Amino acid sequence: MQTDHYFIIWNHGLKYIEQILDIIREHSKIKIQRIVKRKIDNLDKFINHIYKLDKASYTHIHDKSQYLKKLGNEIYIIFVKDINTEYKYKNEHKYSYNTTYLKWYIRLLFNPKTIEQEINITEELIINGIQSAKNWPSFLTHHHIIHSSDIEEETQLVKDYFNLNKMSFNLSGNNYFGVE
């Protein structure tokens, strides 16, 4: 099964954009479809919109908004196709394994740290992060530089928010790096 997903690189992750794109491109089951750059005028409204289908607590969403407001309003949205979607469940929460795996790997690499410390990123560490935030290394913050869709319906929410439904999302030519 193929499904459409996205990654959002928040303002504090923009300095890693080239490395993040390389990581995504190297994943054999994820193909970049299009990349757009946007400025978010109302971050609270945007975050509430993209979490509309998520069961995250109001406090979690509010705290995320407050932190991100301090950083700036520029983001990159990387639309991708998961060409071999495997949905898994964490409790009752459904998520695409491939995009979630990449998201946690990128967070482990680039999320802000409370102290400079090397991190040995293993398969086990990534899987543990996916399963529970309690398994997160203590020096790594939860000020995530990247967000992703868990299910395809969340991707449609982002397309709706930015009125991108009429845009072509395919791999024809070299069009996918067009910044709108």
Listed residue (76, 102, 93, 86) closest to 3, CA to CA:
86
pLDDT of residue 155: 95
Please give the Cα distance from 169 to 179 (Å, whole number). 13
Please give the Cα distance from 133 to 101 (Å, whole number). 14
**DSSP class per residue in 65-78:** HHHHHTT-SEEEEE
Residue 175 pLDDT grade (very low, low, confident, very high; cuts 50, 70, 90):
very low
pLDDT of residue 167: 63
pLDDT in tens, 126-135: 988 888 777 7
pLDDT in tens, 23-81: 999 999 999 998 999 999 999 899 989 988 877 677 877 787 888 989 999 999 999 99
Please give the Cα distance from 46 to 173 (Å, whole number). 31
pLDDT of residue 180: 40
Question: How much is the average pLDDT of 166-175?
Answer: 52
